[in-house]
Structure 1
Amino acid sequence: MSKALERREKLRADLILSAERMIAGRGLAGLKTRDLAREIGCANGAVYNLVADVDELILRVGSRTLLRLDEALGAAERAGEPSPQETLVRIAIAYCDFAAENLQLWRALFEHRMEADKVLPDWSINDQLQLFRHIYQPLAMLFPKRSREELGITARSLFSAVHGMVALGLEQKLVAVPLPALRREIAGLVRAMVHGLIARDTDAESPGTR
């Protein structure tokens, strides 16, 4: 690699790290390319020689956040008893803890909106979809007769329920919930949802059930 390419790659890495720190400290609305350029020592316009636009920069930061979330969920999977139900509980609590510890970066994953005519790049979509395997795998063990499509819908539904509790619980407003209580409520929600899904499948398989 030439010296010029090495310098560009270093500047690009520095830009993404600086953007990550800025979002973590100020939130997504506080991301300013002029401040980033000053921090990494380049002209403001040179930022767009390193990334296509601000959308790409935010998505690159998001990929780093998703990678760390992936690692946190993987650690939670391996941290306790192997029963699929309790694995789902640990994953949900790990998601809550990660959001609380990385609040602005986590919020940025959901606050960022691209223009209607812009397509989300494949690498960003893949980064997001990879996370669902943590939910999908325990569900596949609990419901071996379900199709991949059915399991995918259940995984997204379970995530939506947990995400909603986390998003509301961590709001620094009237609906805020102390973290220990939020963790308990999330564990209860996941167990209740899994019990309900198991009961529904059992009823559907019972003779004479309509």
Structure 2
Amino acid sequence: MQELILAEGQRLLAEVGYAGFSAREVAKRIGYSIGTIYNVFGSHDALLTALNSRTFVLWAQTLHDKLAQAGEDRIAALVQGYFDFAEGNSNLWMAIYDHRLPPNTELPEQYRLLRAGLTNIVEEEIARALPHMGRATIAALTRSLVATVHGHCAFALNGTFLLLGEEDPRGAALTRVRETLAANNRAGAR
């Protein structure tokens, strides 16, 4: 039952986005009552958390696929994979950032681990590029670089970069990442 709900929920979320998403519509599409969905997931927030965590798994697979074909330029593959996933799955991607859990609500461990898988992929590649750095520094740098690429991607998708005259958001994101990695390589060589 859980898989049926998640599969249809993901289809609906991909079609209509976060603002148009309704657990009631998912129930209607699978031929069950809304009560069934809440019996399985407990709440609307729990359903969206499960759906967004499922999106993280798809996104991580996209990055793995890009890295498998990357050759030597694995950093470019990560940036391209980020943009490719967001552009190809914009409603799913945006739902991750549009849905917020109520205050003082922690993400369940099973979902935290699924979501961490995406960051771990990036962290491993940053560690490969900067072998002299410690893990804590790599983790902090990874978060900053993901935020950099995310910002470029979000501005590209929402039209802000177009208004700013940026014609190559992917290239700009990759350049910022490369600059940061080069600066950290120089600092580590000292």
Report the equivalent of 1:188. Answer: 175
Answer yes or no: is 1:29 the counterpart of 2:19: yes
Mean CA deviation greater in 37-46 or 104-113: 37-46
Specify every segment of 5 or more residues in structure 1 that has no aligned partner in the other structure, as ranges: 1-8, 206-210
Correspondence for 2:56 among 35, 47, 66? 66
Q: How many percent of aligned residue pairs carry the same amino acid?
A: 24
Report the equivalent of 1:133. Answer: 120
Give, in whole Å, the separation in 2 of the partners of 1:166 and 1:90. 15
Normalized per residue, the structure richer in helix is 2
Normalised by the length of structure 1, the TM-score is: 0.82
Q: Which amino acid aligns with 1:134?
A: I
Give, in whole Å, the separation in 2 of the partners of 1:47 and 1:142. 45
- Which entry has the higher C-alpha Rg, 1 or 2? 1
Give, in whole Å, the separation in 2 of the partners of 1:16 and 1:163. 26
Q: For the Cα contact (< 8 Å) 2:76–2:174, is it kept in 1?
A: yes
Query: What SS is found at the alignment partner of 2:168?
Result: helix
Report the equivalent of 2:106. Answer: 119
RMSD over aligned Cα atoms: 2.0
Q: For the Cα contact (< 8 Å) 2:63–2:78, is it kept in 1?
A: yes
Q: Which amino acid aligns with 2:20?
A: G
Report the equivalent of 1:110. Answer: 97
Give, in whole Å, the separation in 2 of the partners of 1:190 and 1:174. 20
Query: What SS is found at the alignment partner of 2:71?
Result: coil
Give, in whole Å, the separation in 2 of the partners of 1:101 and 1:13. 23
- 1:184–1:106 Cα change, 3 Å: same
Show CA shifts across 1:9-38 (max 9, x none).
3xx322212211121111111111222221
Give, in whole Å, the separation in 2 of the partners of 1:141 and 1:39. 46
Report the equivalent of 1:4. Answer: none
Give, in whole Å, the separation in 2 of the partners of 1:41 and 1:158. 44
CA shift for structure 1 position 164:
0.7
Query: What SS is found at the alignment partner of 2:14?
Result: helix
Correspondence for 1:147 among 118, 128, 134? 134
Report the equivalent of 1:19. Answer: 9
Report the equivalent of 2:31. Answer: 41
- 1:176–1:53 Cα change, 3 Å: farther
The size of the alignment, in residue pairs, is: 189
CA shift for structure 1 position 119:
1.6
Give, in whole Å, the separation in 1 of the partners of 2:24 and 2:31. 11
5 Å-filtered alignment, 1:90-109, equals 90-109=77-96
CA shift for structure 1 position 95:
0.6
